[in-house]
Structure 1
Amino acid sequence: MEPIVFPKCKKCGLGDLVPLSDFGSQGAAVHFKAWVCTNPECGFNIKIRNGDVYLNEPINNGVAFANNRRNVPIS
């Protein structure tokens, strides 16, 4: 099996662009919803939301979100 080779980031030239997936509002998988540079100092990203393309939106740390999710009571 050959390793997957991701494209180099055209903005910084140091990181690779890696794909991210998500789930749509109806629960269906959305593959390659976003591409993000692996160089944290670069921050380049391109995302698709509701058919529109967004470039370089702010990238937030998911730790705060994960911590909030753990503190939500389950009924």
Structure 2
Amino acid sequence: MNLIPSDPGLPFKFMRRQFPFTFYFAMTINKSQGQSLSRVGVYLPKPVFTKGLKLLILDEDNNVFKETINVVYREVF
């Protein structure tokens, strides 16, 4: 988004470019234990778990899913 001041009192013209962004919240694996979250993103560039990772995935009606889709946002990388 380009921002150009409209103040005629300025002796020069300039343009500021601002990029839209979204706030996100991050927590460590230890802090997340026991949490219930509606959406979770996990970035694991290398293996970090020595034991199996187990997730409980529920739909809107609290039915248990045995698998989920893997969504990769390439623009993050």
Q: Which is higher, the Rg of structure 1 or of structure 2?
A: 2
Interval of TM-score (by shorter of Structure 1 and Structure 2) = under 0.3
**Structure 1 or 2: larger strand share?**
1
Q: Which has the higher contact order (CA 8 A, sep 6+)?
A: 1
Q: TM-score by structure 1 length?
A: 0.27
Q: TM-score by structure 2 length?
A: 0.27
